[in-house]
Structure 1
């Protein structure tokens, strides 16, 4: 992975926290990151060139001007006033290359002096085992603070540790060994042949990121919510609010927007394509 700094830009040393999505069902993590970037007025400082991520290109996702500012598959934004670097990922990782991709991201985070990594992702609602809607949509977390994945700060916010996390489970252990250089990626063929229910969560991108960042000695927190495919904008607001609360981004210190409200990214205007041609009706 190669990180390319835009002309006249640089990584800010004070941006010690890195926020990024892990692709999953409904793209909720990416949408939440969109909200964080647009609402903090984070400035794009560069982009990543990685052979493991599929290529894509599009119009500027956040602002209608200046024209010609293209959106790329993997970009980095800095918000020095909030001490944040935010990475947005717009295309998936090539099949079978997720761990290698996560290792490259962990190398970048360590080399650029990041202290805390916050990963935003979503989980399949079909696999929600203990449904409790009494307090609305629940945020689940996974932290490197303790070996069992718990974090007192997250618990105080009313969130629940992902109950399916078990560091001794075979695939979680394999990910940990792989990230620490004690296993070969070729050894994963047995998981493809004999994947069980307990292998679902550690097979997701957030698990590879969690293991690789943790192996680098970095503090990492994954924030997740359950969702289904469809209109996931409400889920993205829910996850972005959780991340904002966790990072201490109160509405008053979201930069450059009226009344501290969330700023809807420009690209969301065409999220579901153009409106129908009314002459057809």
Structure 2
């Protein structure tokens, strides 16, 4: 993975916390990072080139301008006033290369002085085993602070540790061994041929990131919510709110528009495409 700076800008070494998405159902993690970047007025400082991420290019995601910046597959943003670095991922990872991508991200984070990594992602509502909607949508977390995935800070914020996480489970152990560079004899095809319910979570991108960041000695916290495909903007607001609390953002650190707390990214105006041509009715 190579970092290419933009117009002579460099990564701020004082930005010790890295926030990034792990792609999953509804792209909630990406939408949450969008909100955080636009609302903290983070500045793009460059982009990352990784052979494991499919290339893409698009219009400026955040600002309408006569001289817009093109949006690329992997972009890096700094919010120096909040000591935050964001990495936004806009295209999928090449099939079968998720672990290599996660290792490259971990190397990038460690080499640039990051101490805490916050991963935003989503889980399939259809696989939610213990459904409790009494308190509305619930944030779940997984942390490297303790061996069992618990974290006192997350508990104080009222979140629940991901109940299905079991570090002794075969696929979690397999991920940890690969992330730590240990020789592993087991063929990955055995997982695909004999996929069990307990293998679902460690098969997701956030799990590979969790293992690889942890193997680099970085503290990593995954913030997760269950959702379904559809209009996932409400889920992204929830996830962004959770991330802002975890990294200590105050209301004054977030600039909203149209009287709201958050600044809605410009690109969200075209999420569902242009309105229907009324002449056809």
Q: Please give the range of the TM-score, normalised by the shorter of the 2 chains.
A: over 0.9
Gaps of 5+ in 1: none
Q: How far is the alpha carbon of 1:187 from its aligned partner?
A: 2.8
Q: How far is the alpha carbon of 1:186 from its aligned partner?
A: 7.6
Tell me the TM-score normalized by structure 1. 0.97
Task: Find the counterpart in structure 1 of residue 262 from structure 2.
Answer: 262
1:159-191 superposed Cα distances (whole Å, 9 cap, x missing partner)? 000011001000000000000000359831211
Q: Distance in 1 between matches of 2:68 and 2:185?
A: 40
SS of equivalent to 2:34: helix
Q: Is the 8 A contact 2:174 2:184 kept in 1?
A: no
Task: Find the counterpart in structure 2 of residue 245 from structure 1.
Answer: 245
Q: How far is the alpha carbon of 1:259 from its aligned partner?
A: 6.6
Alpha-carbon RMSD: 1.4
Q: Is the 8 A contact 1:253 1:260 kept in 2?
A: no
Q: Is the 8 A contact 1:52 1:97 kept in 2?
A: yes
Q: Distance in 2 between matches of 1:152 and 1:68?
A: 43
Q: Is the 8 A contact 1:102 1:209 kept in 2?
A: yes
Structure 2 matches for 1:103-114, cutoff 5 A?
103-114=103-114
Q: Is the 8 A contact 1:117 1:220 kept in 2?
A: yes
Task: Find the counterpart in structure 1 of residue 228 from structure 2.
Answer: 228
Q: Is it true that 1:190 corresponds to 2:196 in the alignment?
A: no
Q: How far is the alpha carbon of 1:216 from its aligned partner?
A: 0.1
Q: Is it true that 1:211 corresponds to 2:211 in the alignment?
A: yes
Tell me the TM-score normalized by structure 2. 0.97
Q: How far is the alpha carbon of 1:249 from its aligned partner?
A: 1.1
Gaps of 5+ in 2: none
1:68-125 superposed Cα distances (whole Å, 9 cap, x missing partner)? 4100000000000010000000000010000000000000000000000000000000
> Which deviates further from its counterpart, 66-75 or 111-120?
66-75
> Which deviates further from its counterpart, 58-67 or 91-100?
58-67
Task: Find the counterpart in structure 2 of residue 19 from structure 1.
Answer: 19
Task: Find the counterpart in structure 2 of residue 74 from structure 1.
Answer: 74
Q: Distance in 2 between matches of 1:66 and 1:149?
A: 47
1:141-165 superposed Cα distances (whole Å, 9 cap, x missing partner)? 0000000000011011110000110
Q: Distance in 2 between matches of 1:267 and 1:253?
A: 22
Q: Distance in 1 between matches of 2:66 and 2:217?
A: 40
Task: Find the counterpart in structure 2 of residue 6 from structure 1.
Answer: 6
Runs (4+) of structure 1 exceeding 3 A deviation are 183-186, 255-260
Q: Distance in 1 between matches of 2:66 and 2:83?
A: 26
Task: Find the counterpart in structure 2 of residue 94 from structure 1.
Answer: 94
Q: Distance in 1 between matches of 2:223 and 2:7?
A: 33
Q: Distance in 2 between matches of 1:106 and 1:47?
A: 16
Q: How many residues align?
A: 281
Q: How far is the alpha carbon of 1:250 from its aligned partner?
A: 1.9
Q: Distance in 1 between matches of 2:102 and 2:111?
A: 14
Q: Is it true that 1:121 corresponds to 2:102 in the alignment?
A: no
Structure 2 matches for 1:25-104, cutoff 5 A?
25-104=25-104
Task: Find the counterpart in structure 1 of residue 143 from structure 2.
Answer: 143
SS of equivalent to 1:20: strand
> Which deviates further from its counterpart, 18-27 or 237-246?
237-246
Q: Is the 8 A contact 1:174 1:183 kept in 2?
A: no
Q: How far is the alpha carbon of 1:66 from its aligned partner?
A: 4.4
Q: Is the 8 A contact 2:142 2:161 kept in 1?
A: yes
